[in-house]
Amino acid sequence: MSDKTIKIRVTRFRPEEEDEPTEQVYDVPYQDDWVVLDALNYIKDQVDGTLSYRWSCRMGVCGSCGMMINGAPKLTCATFLKDYYPKEIVIQPLANFPIIRDLVVDVDDFMAKLKAVKPWIIREEQKPVEEGEYLQSPQELKDYKQFSQCINCLLCYSACPVYGLEDVFIGPAALALAHRYNMDSRDEGYAQRTVIAASSEGIWECTFIGECSVVCPKHVDPAAAIQRTKVETTNNWYKSFLMPWGDK
Amino acid sequence: MNQPHNEYQYDTYKPKMSPTWWLKSRRYFMFMMRELSSVFVAGFVLLLLYQIFLLTKGPEVYASFQRSLMTPKFIAFYSVAFVFSVYHTFTWLGVVGRIQIVRIGSYTMPPKIMTASTFVGFFFVSAVIGYIFLR
Amino acid sequence: MNVPEHDIVIVGGGGAGLRAAIAAVQADENISVGLVSKVYPMRSHTVSAEGGAAGVVRDDKDDSLDLHAFDTIKGSDFLADQDVVEAFVKEARDELIQLEHWGCPWSRDEDGRISVRAFGGMSTERTLYAADKTGFHMLHALFQTSLQFDRIKRYDEWYVTKLLLDDNGAACGVAAINVRSGVLHAIPAKAVIVCTGGGGRIFPFTTNAAIKTGDGMSMAYRAGCPLKDMEFVQYHPTGLPGTGILMTEASRGEGGYLINNKGDRYLSEYLPGKMELGPRDMVSRAFVHEEKAGNVFEGPYGTYVHLDLRHLGENKIDEKIPFVRELTKNYVGIDPVYEPVPVRPVVHYMMGGIHTDINGATPIPGLYSAGETACATINGANRLGSNSLSELLVFGARSGHHAVQYANETKMPPYSSLEHMVVDEEQRIENQLLKNNGTERIADIRSDLHKTMDQGAGIYREEESLKATCAEILKLKGRYKRVKVEDTSSVFNTDLTAALELGSLLDVAETVANSALLRKESRGSHSRSDYEERDDKNFLKHSLAYHNEGGDPRIDYLDVVITKWEPNERKY
């Protein structure tokens, strides 16, 4: 290990001791292939065990380690120190969420919204398992595949000014997931899901800023999902009174 | 989640979003400009409608209005409105490919081709209209 | 304190835990389930699994249940319980189709049927996959499906510290810290299902996430349940050096080669039949032999060989193993389309775990276990890739159903009987961790544990180094009594949970090292350089490690159940 170091400025919030967050600066050894998470682990293991943050898989698939790094929402396990060195790195909890402790935010709001959009296959009748799988062509799979890649890291909620200003907004990830199920050829739940998704707190809160898609580490493109849902629900609305005999 | 609610003795800290959030990054700023552009587009359309309405008031009234449009105030307004309209149009056309999926049989048009074709379409239509009005 | 009770409490919200929860609420409309997890369920380590889930789903692939069973049993080096394997292969198909009905985006053939691919140790193509993020898609499908059921109440970020037993020695609930408030609760239950995953984090280089600390294994162990076959630790042949990030077996299933520093596909020497698709223990051992022969590359994080995917072409890589490409580009800066990827064996899976029967029931009444935590066992001495994801579904469902049956015949323990257990547990944690005048850093004890496990209980083991490791672990347990928890706050104290996890790691490690010391043979992934042959006469048995306070675990043995397939030589 060389003796290069880098400064890490971390938000601290100890609700038992203080009413507002403060900051603390640590000197961390710099290594070329270290990610920001490695720096946080170094601090916790060797310097200050009282620093609390979430992490798990360290390979960008569990979605635990989202934080603001120099003002931008990122996964700390996928952000390299070398992209900032020798400048200081500022780590803050994910924006637009209440802070529980240090870098840990309250995501209960998202969990409730996730459930509200009914992200499961809704069918009038399920085929018995003995009869085998529902056939789904590779093209039908492709139609929703991209939107199924969401790791629920919530960077998109941090990036969305609408969610920041009005937290009734159901939000990019939940709406993208609703779209994923709507587009799944096996699903029949469009009507049920649309009640929530196309409500005033759903897609119509979105003003297509598009920042959610910019920060998404999995290229889900929730902004596209929301706009497509807008197009579809609008078309269906016209169809419903222009062609009331139609289905769905 | 079913948790006893009196055990959370400490509140979470709720940060407030600053009213100047849109100055924080270039993308946020350009988004606000995109929204602002609608105001100018609307203004242009209203002026155009008024201009058409004035056709019913006879040639003198119409001519006098046309002269008033050649003052610096209006030229400035129309210049700014033009820039905003172009920006509004380009941002709109730029996202069509992501939102509208075009499928012909088993062929799906790649989003980039879709977007490129809307721009081509736009320039073509603009050229036609320009030819008609500037000839 | 207003703590709800549940008929069944499930500890762990990964693939097995979620499947058990859904099975339980579907089996009986009056059953209430408490799903307690130290992380939000979508963070569970199931999410990192990549390659696929095996099952006899395609009737056009020259496959049969017996063949899947035989592959599994041979892969296990004949240590698998054959009756359990037979039940497993039968139910795997239905479970995988069920998951498809629940929305899992399995990759498809042109005709719309679910695709299957080749995988290590499998005689034919039977591994279903969802690109190369199978675990991710399975976990999210299960989690999202579970959201429909209001009778599954989730306790997210509650850390279970202890299994509670009543006066008759039956399970009656769990003690868990609500990490967000710091308050310890008892959750009364008639039955408990432990699905907390394995304990790969006892080793320094592992594909495992931070949360794989063997908490459930430790809990059951301390409650008197034996841990079975703990000496069998699987090394996945292809992990990235340093980080240990997994490069899925599917990269070899789709045709990738393993190349040494001489440019040779060295597996032709060790596994001429199956080559790169040999069972994981053999492929990992081959690496060690190549290392001894000096045929490997040297790097900053140790030796490695090359995983060559270039001949697959960009299209195939992007379609079948896109996540591999993403990971190598991000973490090693290499594009596998153009350059070979450095890989080496890393700890990946524990075949051993909480001793259960074919239904997921442990010797403790009311206590069940499923998933990597459990050892039923279908995996024996070595697991075949893609059996684990199917295992989660089959045994998650089985233990869910059986826990319901048990719960319907049992009375709910009254909260009053658990009250003193809460107080006792609070005191224990306080005395042992918070007010112990600790001096040792958690990370120091943990890294010393890593060192000794790597040295003594690695791919190749022998008497002296194992003895040294067992002794060192006892010393580390002594040092653990003086561990320092710097953070004494209540709200979201992750220093305390790290200390608790370290306790679990030490328990798991001692069972691994001691079981390994006493197994004087080489079988599956347990390779003794001093006992190189398999010894069916003396060791066609499972090891059972019982907790022994203050000393080494007591190791006992249990015969393997043989039904159809007599053990013979394991050659590929």
User: DSSP string covering C521-542, please?
Assistant: S-BTTBEESSS-S--HHHHSEE
- Sign of the dihedral through C-alpha A76, A77, A82, A85: positive
Q: Does residue B102 sit within a domain?
A: yes
Region B50-63: mean pLDDT is 90
- The pLDDT assigned to C88 comes to 98
Q: Which residues from chain C sit within 8 angstroms of residue A140, using beta carbons?
A: 112
Choose the final residue of a domain: A80, A105, A130.
A105
Q: How far is B13 from chain C (nearest CA, A)?
A: 13
- The pLDDT assigned to A243 comes to 82
Query: Measuring CA to CA, which residue among C392, C397, C302, C385 is closest to residue C349?
Result: C385
- Is the Cβ–Cβ distance between A65 and A53 less than 8 Å? yes
Instruction: Please give the tally of structural domains in chain B.
Output: 1
Backbone angles phi, psi at A57, to 5 degrees: -80, -20
Query: Measuring CA to CA, which residue among C420, C102, C363 is closest to residue C223?
Result: C363
Choose the final residue of a domain: A81, A105, A129.
A105
Same structural domain, A233 and A125: yes
Query: Measuring CA to CA, which residue among C337, C318, C327 is closest to residue C246?
Result: C327
Whole-number Å distance between alpha carbons of A148 and A218: 10
Q: DSSP states of C334-356 as a string?
A: --TTTSPEEEEEEEEEES-EEE-
- The pLDDT assigned to A244 comes to 74
Q: For residue C235, what are the β-bridge partners? A: C347
Q: For residue A172, what are the β-bridge partners? A: none
Task: Please check whether residue B1 touches C, CB under 8 A.
Answer: yes
CATH of the domain at B100: 1.20.1300.10
- Which of B1, B6, B7 is facing C155, going by the closest CB pair? B1
**Which residues 6+ apart lie within 8 Å of A195 measured at CB?**
none
Q: Taking CB atoms and an 8 Å cut-off, how many pairs form between chains A and C?
A: 161
Contacting B residues, span 34-63, partner chain C, CB-CB under 8 Å: none
- The pLDDT assigned to B102 comes to 85
Same structural domain, A212 and A116: yes
**ipTM above threshold 0.85:** yes
C-alpha distances out from residue A53 to A63, C46, C71, C201, C447, Å: 13, 21, 43, 19, 21
Task: Please check whether residue B20 touches C, CB under 8 A.
Answer: no
The verdict on a CB contact (< 8 Å) between C181 and B7 is yes
Buried/exposed C214-226: b ≥16 CB within 10 Å, e otherwise: bbbbbbbbebebb
Closest residue on chain A to B28 (Cα): A209
Residues of A with CB under 8 A from a CB of B: 13, 15-16, 19-21, 71, 95-96, 98-100, 106, 108, 111, 139, 161, 164-165, 207-211, 214, 221, 223-224, 227-228, 231
- Which residue, chain included where needed, has tokens 């595949």? A145
Whole-number Å distance between alpha carbons of C14 and C197: 8
Q: How far is A22 from chain B (nearest CA, A)?
A: 12
Q: Which residues from chain C sit within 8 angstroms of residue B12, using beta carbons?
A: none
Q: How far is A75 from chain C (nearest CA, A)?
A: 12
Q: How far is A186 from chain B (nearest CA, A)?
A: 19
Q: Does residue B14 sit within a domain?
A: no
Same structural domain, A95 and A29: yes
Whole-number Å distance between alpha carbons of C77 and C75: 5
**Which residues 6+ apart lie within 8 Å of C22 measured at CB?**
C142, C145, C146, C149, C152, C400
Task: Give the residue numbers of C marked as catalytic.
Answer: 236, 252
- The pLDDT assigned to A241 comes to 83
- The pLDDT assigned to C4 comes to 84
- The pLDDT assigned to B110 comes to 87
State the burial class of residue B89 (Cβ atoms within 10 Å of its Cβ: 0-12, 13-18, 19+). middle
Choose the final residue of a domain: A46, A70, A105.
A105
Q: Does residue A209 sit within a domain?
A: yes
- Which of C209, C326, C495 is facing A62, going by the closest CB pair? C209
Tens of pLDDT along A103-137? 999 999 999 999 999 999 999 999 999 999 999 99
Whole-number Å distance between alpha carbons of C152 and C144: 12
The verdict on a CB contact (< 8 Å) between C4 and B10 is no
Same structural domain, A173 and A125: yes
Angle between helices A222-242 and A172-183 (to 10 degrees): 60
Q: DSSP states of A39-80 as a string?
A: HHHHIIIII-TT-------SSSSS---EEEETTEEEEGGG-B
Same structural domain, A23 and A121: no
The verdict on a CB contact (< 8 Å) between B10 and A207 is no
Instruction: Please give the tally of structural domains in chain A.
Output: 2
Report whether pLDDT(A246) > 60: no
CATH of the domain at A145: 1.10.1060.10
Closest residue on chain B to A71 (Cα): B24
Report whether pLDDT(A141) > 60: yes
Q: How confident is the model at residue B2 (pLDDT cuts 50, 70, 90)?
A: very low
- Is the Cβ–Cβ distance between C451 and C473 less than 8 Å? no
Top pLDDT among A2 and C339 is at C339
Task: Please check whether residue C181 touches B, CB under 8 A.
Answer: yes
Task: Please check whether residue B7 touches C, CB under 8 A.
Answer: yes
- The pLDDT assigned to C2 comes to 56
Whole-number Å distance between alpha carbons of C510 and C205: 18
C301, C303, C305, C307 alpha-carbon torsion, rounded to 10°? -20
Q: Which chains touch C (3 or more CB pairs under 8 A)?
A: A, B
Cis-peptide into A128, omega within 30 deg? no
Q: Does residue B124 sit within a domain?
A: yes
- Which residue, chain included where needed, has tokens 């060797």? A46
3-state secondary structure of A213: helix
Closest residue on chain A to C495 (Cα): A49
Whole-number Å distance between alpha carbons of C514 and A150: 42
- The pLDDT assigned to C87 comes to 97
Most A CBs within 10 Å: which of B24, B91, B99, as the mutation test of the A interface? Answer: B99
- Which residue, chain included where needed, has tokens 């100055």? B23
Closest residue on chain B to A12 (Cα): B13
Region A9-15: mean pLDDT is 97
Q: How far is C147 from chain B (nearest CA, A)?
A: 11
- Is the Cβ–Cβ distance between C326 and C269 less than 8 Å? no
Same structural domain, A127 and A231: yes
Q: How confident is the model at residue B5 (pLDDT cuts 50, 70, 90)?
A: low
Q: Does residue B8 sit within a domain?
A: no
Same structural domain, A100 and A112: no
The verdict on a CB contact (< 8 Å) between B3 and C491 is no
CA C336, chain centre distance (Å)? 28
Share of chain A above pLDDT 70, in %: 98
Q: Mean pLDDT of all residues in chain B?
A: 89
3-state secondary structure of B14: coil
Angle between helices B59-68 and B26-54 (to 10 degrees): 150
Q: Indicate the DSSP class of residue C411.
A: P
Secondary structure of C74-96 in HEC code, one letter for each residue? HHCCCCCCHHHHHHHHHHHHHHH
pLDDT digit string (tens) for chain C, length 572 residues: 457 899 999 999 999 999 999 999 999 999 999 999 999 999 999 999 999 999 999 999 899 999 999 999 999 999 999 999 999 999 999 999 999 999 999 999 999 999 999 999 999 999 999 988 999 999 999 999 999 999 999 999 999 999 999 999 999 999 999 999 999 999 999 999 999 999 999 999 999 999 999 999 999 999 999 999 999 999 999 999 989 999 999 999 999 999 999 999 999 999 999 999 999 999 999 999 999 999 999 999 999 999 999 999 999 999 999 999 999 999 999 999 999 999 999 999 999 999 999 999 999 999 999 999 999 999 999 999 999 999 999 999 999 999 999 999 999 998 888 999 999 999 999 999 999 999 999 999 999 999 999 999 999 999 999 999 999 999 999 999 999 999 999 999 999 999 999 999 999 999 999 999 999 999 999 999 999 999 999 999 999 999 999 899 999 999 999 999 999 999 88
Same structural domain, A140 and A182: yes
Tens of pLDDT along A167-200? 899 999 999 999 999 999 999 999 999 999 999 8
H helix runs in C301-386, sequence order: 314-320, 322-331
Whole-number Å distance between alpha carbons of B77 and B85: 12
Q: Angle at CA B96, nearest 5°, toward B103 and B46?
A: 135
Domain of residue A22, residue span: 5-105
Q: Does residue A226 sit within a domain?
A: yes
- Which of B2, B7, B10 is facing C153, going by the closest CB pair? B2
Same structural domain, A238 and A124: yes
Most A CBs within 10 Å: which of B2, B12, B34, B38, as the mutation test of the A interface? Answer: B12
- Is the Cβ–Cβ distance between C257 and C264 less than 8 Å? no
Same structural domain, A86 and A10: yes
**Strands of chain B, DSSP E:** 103-104, 107-108
Q: For residue C13, what are the β-bridge partners? A: none
Same structural domain, A40 and A74: yes
Amino acid at C38: K
Q: How many CB atoms lie within 10 A of CB C535?
A: 13
Q: Beta strand C341-350 with C302-308: parallel, antiparallel or unpaired? A: antiparallel
The verdict on a CB contact (< 8 Å) between C2 and B9 is no
- Which of A98, A211, A223 is facing B13, going by the closest CB pair? A98
Cis-peptide into C497, omega within 30 deg? no
- Is the Cβ–Cβ distance between C190 and C7 less than 8 Å? yes
Report whether pLDDT(A1) > 70: no
Q: How far is B123 from chain A (nearest CA, A)?
A: 25
Whole-number Å distance between alpha carbons of B77 and C209: 60
Whole-number Å distance between alpha carbons of B135 and C87: 84
Q: Does residue A247 sit within a domain?
A: no
Angle between helices C494-518 and C463-480 (to 10 degrees): 150
C-alpha distances out from residue B54 to B57, B69, B74, C51, C500, Å: 5, 13, 17, 72, 82
Q: Does residue A25 sit within a domain?
A: yes
Q: Beta strand C127-128 with A72-75: parallel, antiparallel or unpaired? A: unpaired
Closest residue on chain B to C147 (Cα): B1
- The pLDDT assigned to B103 comes to 83
Q: Does residue A248 sit within a domain?
A: no
- Can you read off the two tokens belonging to residue A45? 């293991």
- Can you read off the two tokens belonging to residue C273? 């039949």
Same structural domain, A116 and A237: yes
The verdict on a CB contact (< 8 Å) between C181 and B1 is no
Closest residue on chain C to B8 (Cα): C181
Domain of residue B116, residue span: 27-134
Q: How far is C156 from chain B (nearest CA, A)?
A: 8
Cis-peptide into A79, omega within 30 deg? no
Q: DSSP states of C186-235 as a string?
A: EEEEEEEEE-----GGGSSSBS--TT-S-HHHHHHHHTTPPEESTT-EEE
CA C463, chain centre distance (Å)? 26
